């Protein structure tokens, strides 16, 4: 209460002003103490009430301006004087037009219609007030008393002659939001819709008997029961923290209808404006606090609101909450930065003593122990802006924990590698380098040149051979030097065919049809010699195609030997399945291994093979082969069982190098290999029309051409390589 | 048209198609190859059935009492079990037959290699140094030189396939002895000559086959042209 509101124009004036600065009317003309109103005589309660009003500022919504008298001003406590002095310094110019005196509610002037209970009070028989001590105050009211973002109470309007304590718009008043202002204004009853935290059943019934339910009650009828709690509070010394919300709500009706209230509830216009002269005298009596109360109030310090209530113009409300009544955490909130829009600066904050946070509140903040210091410091300065915990500071650290996190530690990714491991890694890298290296792009498409080259070489070979075969130039000379194995072969054949008894030869035919042209050419001359000696030929093969090739070979050789009776002297034992195993079985018991001929006749009962039971009974074994494995199988399996029977081999040229060791070792008696061997054999036999001789020019020409092509190719590729090397150099 | 002439023309065209390989792999060449493989397989199957199974297994079992041919039951059973190799699920039933074939084949091969090749080659390597039967000095020198070359070639070729490494202080040094390295190097020369001779033999055999085929074509076309 650092200012006095003019009862005529509603403007704010300094506390020491006697006339309104705006309308120049006397501020105390109508507030003189009525002569007829006794000051004593059982009205101590009213003085007490005024004392409460002055030191507690517990009725924010019922603030009535300008009821201070000059006498009371001299007795104001020190804290109030200090506030007034500061307000005087900071008082803004008045902007709001004052209410007309006729706009005051009529109940203020209804002094005569005091209810019985007031009369009883006046008579000194004060009914027992509601026991409203701290025990009856619910905990929720205590705990939530510090909320600072409650809905703003209705703007206090100027009340002529009465100056109620200023209330900050962010006064933490519990239950104010539950107050049904609209219902209150409609019924003009502050009791009905108000949800009192106290049990109204404890109130005496006579308090409510005289209150009409459908009409606005007069001021004496209403304020008395509502103000009793103030008396009780003063008597009991209840701290003015959260419980002060109750008087704030209950004194709401004392506020004259403001613009805002009118907008909310048109029925608030019903109360007649109270004339200042009609106001009860007791409302204008000065407060005369006792010395104890002054001393007690001196301990308190009010936090001046930073902003006035909505609709109140420049009125500044003083927080009714005192530091002594406030919990420590609420004091911490005051020191903390406020949420924009809801903050207020405490007046004379430098004078506010820093309070200590109670232990129980520390216990409610376990996040301080768990959260990082950074978060904790931020949490200490953060005020919850919304939700049921709005206004509390550092209560919910979860937001900070989630949104604020420390940078994760950075670990070194450098490997600790030993020298040995480094060497291995280098070697491995070298190994895979060739695999991962992209190969050089192909210099050119080599498919076409290769095809052309192959076509040229092939056609050249074919044309050359055809020309030689057709023309038969005879430029090639038969070899005069024959290999010793061919000589041995020739000698063996001549020896056997020259014998008195025609020899019986086991002919092993194991070559594929693909090389029949070579082997048939070579063996034809040999078979002709054997046929010339009327030799008995028993063909056997470990190749399925052998029997057919044998028949063809006999047919071709018999052309040159018309006297030879193939049907009698030639027998085909057919195919022997099993490879080397079949040869081993044949070496052991030929009669059981190859019992029949190709015609199904008993082979060993024929005239040719009659009396023979073993391989050694044959005079010679002639092997025609183009395969190294089969040749070795014959040598390994049959030759040991053949005894003294010579093993003669007619082989393809491709097998000759592999069979040469057996020739050197004597396991092969004689061998004719390829056209070279056939030419040597024909050279030895002096056959003028041997098949090899007819192919000898072509064979020699072809071999010469191949050699020339190989030489030319080697030279060309050598030159190309030399050129490339020079280019690289 | 006589059958021989027909088969001659068929052989002629087939030969031409095979020679088309000079222009690279083509469908005609593959056709001839497939015909050749098919005919060979069919001929082998017919031959085996009529030359092996019928006269040596089926006919004896059918025509003669079982008591007289009890030994044929074993190959018959093994032959039937071998057919289960065609089925992946029942192929295990053919394992006894395969085991018999593999075991017998390995035993025969090893026995023949030892007695026929190993002993024979050792004897052949030693025999050139037997100079008692030679009368002239030239023959002795020639045979002795041949024997030395043969022995050197054999030893050096075997040294080339020696992959052992000497130990030094109980640890493998990773390197062969110097003598082995020298012999291996010489053996490498002998092996190269041998492989070259084999390649030359293959080339000579192929050339001989080509000449024979070209002569066949000439013999077929000569009557037509003349």
DSSP letters for A316-366 = -PPP--BTTTS-HHHHHHHHSPPPTTT--PPTTGGGSPPPPPPHHHHHT-T
User: Does A31 reside within a domain?
Assistant: yes
- Regarding whether A278 and A261 lie in a shared domain, the answer is yes
Q: In the predicted model, what is the mean pLDDT of residues A432-450?
A: 70
- A292 and A198 in a common domain: yes
Average pLDDT over residues A137-165: 50
Spell out a b/e string for A501-512, using b for 16 or more CB atoms within 10 Å of the CB, else e.
ebbbbbbbbbbb
Q: Are residues A247 and A147 in the same domain?
A: yes
pLDDT-derived band at B222 (thresholds 50, 70, 90) equals: confident
Residue A383 contacts B where some CB pair is shorter than 8 Å:
no
Domain count for chain A, please give it.
3
Give the distance from residue A524's alpha carbon to the nearest chain B alpha carbon, in angstroms.
13
Here the tokens at position A515 are 């090389």
- On whether residue A430 sits in a domain, the answer given is no
Mean pLDDT for all residues in chain B: 87
As a whole number of angstroms, the distance between CA A100 and CA A158 comes to: 10
Question: Is the Cβ–Cβ distance between A621 and A670 less than 8 Å?
Answer: no
> What is the pLDDT averaged over residues A703-729?
91
Confidence of residue A110 (pLDDT cuts 50, 70, 90): low
DSSP type of residue A37: S
CA-derived radius of gyration, chain A = 68
Question: Does residue A444 form part of some domain?
Answer: no
A187-196, A287-296, A682-691, B211-220: lowest mean pLDDT where? A187-196
Name which of B43, B52, B214 is nearest A466 (Cβ-Cβ): B214
Q: Does A539 lie at the interface with B, CB-CB under 8 angstroms?
A: no
Amino acid A194: pLDDT = 45
Does some domain include residue A148? yes
DSSP state of A4: E
Residue A413 lies inside a defined structural domain of this protein: no
**C-alpha A642: how far from its chain's center?**
83
- Determine the Cα–Cα distance for residues A652 and A629; give it in Å rounded to an integer: 13
Separation between Cα atoms, residue A126 and residue A2, nearest integer Å: 33
Here the ipTM equals: 0.86
Q: Is residue A338 located within the same domain as residue A286?
A: no
- Residue in B100, B207, B210, B225 to test binding to A, most A beta-carbons within 10 Å: B207
Query: Which has the higher per-residue pLDDT, B183 or A346?
Result: B183
pTM: 0.54
Let me know whether A16 and A121 are in one domain.
Answer: yes
DSSP at B117: I
Same domain, residue pair A286 and A386: no
B31 confidence band (pLDDT: 50, 70, 90): very high
B178-225 helix and A656-665 helix, angle to the nearest 10 degrees: 120
A residues 91-130 near B, CB within 8 Å? none
Domain carrying residue A591: 484-699
Report how far Cα A582 is from the mean position of its chain's Cα atoms. Answer: 72
The answer to whether the CB atoms of B208 and A674 lie below 8 A apart is: yes
Q: For the segment B88-124, what is each residue's pLDDT rounded down to a tens digit? A: 888 899 999 999 999 999 999 998 899 888 888 888 8
Domain ranges of chain B: 1-85, 98-129, 133-226
CB contact at 8 A, A538 and A505: yes
Are residues A494 and A372 both part of a single domain? no
Residue whose C-alpha is closest to residue A322's, from A232, A196, A223, A233 = A233
Is A557 a domain residue?
Answer: yes
pLDDT in tens, A468-480: 998 888 888 888 8
In a domain, A452, yes or no: no
Are A499 and A386 in a shared domain? no
Contacts of A694 in chain B (CB under 8 A): 215
CB A5 within 8 A of CB A163: yes
Task: Answer for the pair A552, A520: CB distance below 8 angstroms, yes or no.
Answer: yes
Q: A 282-341 residues with CB below 8 A of B? A: none
Q: Of all helices (H) and strands (E), which one includes residue A510? A: strand A504-510
d(CA B6, CA B12): 10
Nearest beta carbon to residue A517 from set B24, B128, B212:
B212
- For residue A722, the model assigns a pLDDT of 92
Among B56, B105, B205, whose Cβ lies nearest the Cβ of A674? B205
What mean pLDDT comes out for the span A336-360? 59
C-alpha dist (Å) from residue A522 to A338, A438, B84, B93: 118, 53, 44, 47
Q: Are A487 and A479 in contact (CB under 8 A)?
A: no
In chain B, whose CA is at the least distance from the CA of A584?
B108
pLDDT band at A715 (very low <50, low <70, confident <90, very high): very high
Angle (nearest 5°) at CA A192 between A188 and A196: 125
Q: Does residue A504 fall inside a structural domain?
A: yes
pLDDT at position A143: 58
Distance, in Å, from the CA atom of A533 to the CA atom of A300, rounded to the nearest integer, reads 153
Mean pLDDT (whole number) for A690-708: 91
Compare B31 and A598 and report the one with higher pLDDT: B31
Exposed (0-12), middle (13-18) or buried (19+): which is A643, by Cβ within 10 Å? exposed
- The reply to whether residue B205 touches residue A515, judged by beta carbons under 8 angstroms, is yes
Question: Mean pLDDT of all residues in chain A?
Answer: 69
Residue A368, CA atoms < 13 Å, CB-side half-sphere: 12
């Amino acid at each position: 209460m650092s200012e006095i509101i003019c009862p005529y124009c509603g403007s704010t004036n300094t506390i020491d002003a006697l006339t309104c600065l705006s309308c120049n009317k006397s501020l105390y003309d109508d507030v003189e103490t009525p002569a007829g109103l006794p000051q004593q005589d059982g009205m101590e309660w009213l003085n007490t009430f005024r004392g409460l009003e002055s030191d507690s500022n517990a009725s924010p919504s019922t603030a009535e301006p300008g009821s201070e008298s000059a006498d009371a001003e001299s007795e104001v406590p020190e804290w109030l004087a200090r506030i007034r002095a500061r307000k005087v310094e900071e008082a803004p110019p008045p902007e709001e037009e004052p209410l007309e005196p006729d706009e005051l509610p009529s109940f203020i002037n209804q002094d005569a219609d005091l209810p019985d209970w007031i009369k009883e009070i006046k008579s000194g028989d004060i009914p027992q007030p509601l026991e409203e001590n701290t025990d009856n105050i619910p905990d929720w009211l205590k705990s939530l008393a510090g909320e600072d973002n409650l809905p703003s109470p209705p703007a206090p309007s100027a009340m002529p002659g009465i100056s109620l304590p200023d209330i900050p718009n962010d006064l933490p008043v519990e239950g104010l939001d539950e107050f049904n202002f609209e219902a209150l204004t409609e019924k003009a009853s502050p009791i009905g819709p108000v949800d009192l935290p106290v049990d109204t059943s404890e109130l005496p019934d006579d308090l409510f008997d005289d209150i009409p339910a459908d009409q606005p009650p007069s001021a004496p009828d209403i304020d008395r029961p509502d103000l009793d709690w103030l008396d009780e509070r003063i008597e009991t010394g209840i701290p003015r923290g959260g419980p002060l919300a109750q008087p704030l709500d209950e004194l709401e009706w004392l506020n004259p209808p403001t613009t805002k209230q009118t907008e909310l509830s048109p029925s608030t216009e019903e109360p007649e404006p109270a004339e200042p002269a009609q106001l009860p005298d007791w409302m204008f009596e000065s407060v005369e606090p006792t010395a104890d109360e002054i001393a007690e109030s001196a301990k308190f310090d009010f936090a001046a609101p930073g902003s006035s209530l909505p609709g109140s113009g420049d009125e500044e409300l003083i927080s009714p909450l005192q530091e002594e009544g406030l919990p420590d955490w609420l004091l911490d909130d005051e020191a903390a930065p406020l949420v924009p829009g809801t903050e207020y600066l405490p007046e004379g904050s430098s004078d506010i003593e820093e309070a200590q946070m109670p232990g129980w509140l520390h216990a409610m903040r376990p996040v301080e122990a768990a959260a990082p210091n950074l978060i904790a410091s931020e949490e200490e300065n953060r005020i919850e802006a919304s939700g049921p915990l709005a206004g509390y500071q550092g209560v919910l650290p979860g937001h900070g924990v989630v949104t604020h996190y420390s940078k994760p530690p950075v670990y070194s990714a450098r490997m600790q590698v030993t020298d040995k491991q480094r060497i291995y890694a280098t070697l491995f890298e070298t190994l895979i380098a060739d695999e991962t290296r992209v190969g050089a792009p192909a210099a050119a498409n080599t498919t076409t040149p290769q095809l052309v080259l192959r076509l040229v070489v092939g056609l050249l070979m074919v044309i050359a051979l055809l020309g030689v075969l057709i023309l038969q130039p005879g430029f090639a000379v038969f070899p005069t030097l024959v290999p010793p194995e061919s000589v041995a072969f020739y000698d063996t054949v001549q020896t056997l065919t020259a014998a008195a008894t025609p020899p019986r030869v086991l002919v092993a035919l194991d070559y594929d049809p693909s090389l029949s042209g070579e082997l048939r050419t070579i063996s034809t001359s040999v078979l002709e010699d054997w046929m010339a000696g009327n030799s008995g030929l028993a063909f056997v093969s470990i190749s399925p195609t052998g029997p057919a090739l044998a028949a063809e070979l006999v047919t071709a050789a018999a052309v040159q030997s018309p006297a030879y009776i193939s049907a009698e002297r030639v027998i085909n034992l057919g195919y022997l399945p099993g490879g080397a195993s079949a040869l081993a079985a044949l070496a052991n018991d030929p009669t059981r291994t190859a019992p029949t001929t190709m015609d199904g006749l008993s082979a060993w009962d024929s005239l040719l093979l009659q009396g023979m039971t073993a391989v050694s009974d044959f005079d010679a074994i002639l092997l025609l082969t183009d395969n190294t494995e089969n040749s070795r199988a014959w040598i390994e399996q049959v030759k040991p069982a053949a005894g003294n029977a010579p093993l003669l081999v007619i082989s393809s040229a491709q097998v000759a190098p592999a069979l040469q060791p057996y020739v050197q070792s004597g396991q092969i008696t004689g061998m004719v290999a390829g056209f070279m061997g056939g030419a040597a054999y024909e050279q030895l036999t002096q056959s003028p029309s041997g098949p090899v001789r007819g192919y000898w020019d072509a064979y020699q020409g072809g071999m010469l051409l191949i050699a020339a092509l190989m030489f030319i190719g080697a030279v060309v590729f050598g030159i190309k390589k030399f050129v490339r090397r020079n280019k690289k150099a | 048209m006589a059958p021989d002439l027909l088969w001659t023309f068929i052989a002629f065209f087939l030969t031409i198609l095979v020679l088309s390989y000079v222009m690279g792999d083509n469908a005609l060449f593959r056709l001839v190859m497939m015909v050749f493989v098919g005919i060979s397989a069919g001929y082998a199957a017919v031959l085996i059935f009529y030359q092996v199974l019928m006269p040596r297994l089926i006919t004896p079992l059918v025509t003669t009492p079982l008591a007289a041919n009890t030994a044929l039951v074993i190959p018959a059973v093994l032959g039937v079990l071998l057919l289960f190799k065609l089925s992946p699920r029942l192929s295990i039933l053919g394992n006894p037959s395969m085991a018999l074939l593999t075991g017998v084949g390995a035993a025969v091969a090893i026995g023949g290699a030892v007695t026929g090749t190993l002993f024979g080659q050792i004897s052949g390597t030693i025999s050139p140094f037997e100079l008692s039967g030679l009368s002239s000095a030239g023959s002795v020198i020639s045979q002795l030189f041949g024997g030395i070359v043969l022995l050197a070639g054999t030893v050096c070729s075997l040294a080339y396939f020696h992959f052992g490494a000497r130990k030094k202080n109980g640890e493998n040094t990773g390197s062969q002895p110097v003598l082995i390295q020298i012999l291996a190097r010489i053996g490498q020369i002998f092996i190269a000559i041998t492989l070259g001779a084999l390649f030359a033999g293959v080339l000579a055999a192929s050339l001989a086959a080509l000449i024979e085929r070209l002569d066949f074509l000439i013999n077929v076309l000569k009557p037509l042209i003349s």
